[in-house]
Structure 1
Amino acid sequence: MRKRVLWIIGAVLAVAVIAVGVGPWAYAKFFHGDQPDALGLSGAATGGSGSLDGNWTVAPESAAGYEVWETLNGQRVFVRGQTQDVTGTATVEDSTLSAGVVEVDVASIATDSERRDAMFDMMIMNTGSFPTATFEVTEPVDLSVVPEDGSTVSVPVSGKLTLHGQTRDVTTNFDIRRSGENIETAGAVDVAWTDYGVQKPTTFPNIVVEDAGQVQFSIVLGKS
């Protein structure tokens, strides 16, 4: 009888060890889900010609989202949430971007997990009170450096990023190119979540979300 009890105890301990050791790996491989590619310029550009001057509108194929890293019992994985519910306008004068704003419907951002998205909407971003995120250009951007052959240039852009009702000045590099009648641009802004009053989730103590992440975007502008 004593041997049987010891055997049962040993089996339970073995299962516990396997759960601790294999659990995070299994989460990352099987339960975490496939993540989309980071937002950026996709496919080949055809190039374009003619004046860039005029009014531009964010096209439906644009997208925005976030990337955050989390650790489950030592297993580090990233999560990306994305949406195409993006609107905005831009104005170009004398080949200079003089004004531009992009607005994102935060509640429409989705990941591979509906439970994660519900927590993101209600507990983290509070989309009921702060339904949109925006990026507004605050300094002129010289677009004369953008070639007509469709090749990409990297251009620094300064603006105001608003998340969770908090606005901060940021500067980041935009990859910009011409494609047909459109302007295509993509980039990312590194953010510390607490700078925007965003609190990391603590519901699951074995899941640790990192303090910083990225806001990513891929914007297509069409002439208005």
Structure 2
Amino acid sequence: MTRNWKRLLLIGVAVAVVLVVGGPFVYIHFFQDKAPAPLSVSASPQAATGAAVPADGTWKAAAGSQAGYRVKEVLFGQNTEAVGRTNGVTGDLTIAGTKATKGSFTVDLTTVKSDKDRRDQQFQGRIMETAKYPKATFALTEPIDLGSVPTVGAKITAKATGNLTLKAETRKVTFDVTASRTAPGAFDVSGSIPVKFADWKIANPSFGPIQTQDNGQVEFLLKFTK
């Protein structure tokens, strides 16, 4: 009888280990939806042909613009990604010749959503404190050199430098942006800004069994129209 109890106990321990270690693996890899791909400009609708149409003037972020975050998570040793996004984005871009001379965008953080309510509660509460700091902003501090006036279908990658403000903390950042002219009167612009949480006094997103790195990405896709 004692031997049988020991055997059952060992089986119970083994099952518990499988559930704790294997459970998250099965859930993440077979049941949980994969994180959406990074925000990026669409493939060029056509090859860049013909003379370039001047882009001078002010452009506004239109419907379809998005912004959000991407953070790597570890759940019981299993790697995954947390992604939250919103369409609550406004912005403008001024182009003169072959340069973007001014530009900025603002994100309504109170509308950012992920695929998990508990994660959203943490984001809106202790992490970003959106009741106190509802907006995130970025503003160019240096012109972006486009190199040339892009034709419809052309895609350009350039460096952007400006001030990123999160939780009332403003820091200078430099990162790659990609622009695609989808029509004579339309531009798509995407980018990803690396963010080390401590630099903006953002609480580490780790909570419960979920652990995160000390950094993440601010992603955006801006659809500009004249």
**Do both proteins adopt the same fold according to a TM-score greater than 0.5, normalized to the shorter chain?**
yes
Task: Select the residue among 180, 200, 204 that pairs with 2:204.
Answer: 200
- Does residue 213 (structure 1) correspond to residue 216 (structure 2)? The answer is yes
- Does residue 86 (structure 1) correspond to residue 89 (structure 2)? The answer is yes
1:1-80 equivalent positions in 2, closer than 5 A: 1-30=1-30, 32-46=32-46, 49-80=52-83
**Quick check: 1:45–1:177 contact (8 Å CA) kept in 2?**
no
Q: Distance in 1 between matches of 2:65 and 2:187?
A: 11
Report the AA paired with residue 6 of structure 2.
L
**Alpha-carbon deviations, 1:74-115, whole Å to 9, x = none?**
111111111111101122233422211100011211111111
Q: Give, in angstroms, the shift of residue 203 of structure 1.
A: 3.3
Q: Distance in 1 between matches of 2:202 and 2:14?
A: 40
Say which SS state the counterpart of residue 17 (structure 1) adopts: helix
Structure 1 range deviating more: 91-100 or 124-133:
91-100
**Alpha-carbon deviations, 1:41-92, whole Å to 9, x = none?**
1243356942211111101111111110011121111111111111011222
Identity across the alignment (%) = 34
1:30-179 equivalent positions in 2, closer than 5 A: 30=30, 32-46=32-46, 49-179=52-182
Q: Distance in 2 between matches of 1:77 and 1:115?
A: 16
Normalised by the length of structure 1, the TM-score is 0.91
Q: Give, in angstroms, the shift of residue 124 of structure 1.
A: 0.5
**Alpha-carbon deviations, 1:169-197, whole Å to 9, x = none?**
01111111211111111111111111111
**Quick check: 1:146–1:177 contact (8 Å CA) kept in 2?**
no
Say which SS state the counterpart of residue 162 (structure 1) adopts: strand
Say which SS state the counterpart of residue 198 (structure 1) adopts: coil
Normalised by the length of structure 2, the TM-score is 0.91
CA RMSD of aligned residues (A): 1.8
Q: Distance in 2 between matches of 1:35 and 1:202?
A: 18
Q: Distance in 2 between matches of 1:146 and 1:172?
A: 21
C-alpha change, 1:98 and 1:173, in structure 2 (3 Å) is same
Say which SS state the counterpart of residue 8 (structure 1) adopts: helix
**Quick check: 1:146–1:176 contact (8 Å CA) kept in 2?**
no
Aligned residues: 222
* Segments of 4+ moved more than 6 angstroms: none
C-alpha change, 1:203 and 1:96, in structure 2 (3 Å) is closer
Q: Distance in 1 between matches of 2:38 and 2:137?
A: 19
Say which SS state the counterpart of residue 77 (structure 1) adopts: strand
Q: Distance in 2 between matches of 1:45 and 1:168?
A: 36
Say which SS state the counterpart of residue 224 (structure 2) adopts: strand
Q: Distance in 1 between matches of 2:149 and 2:64?
A: 21
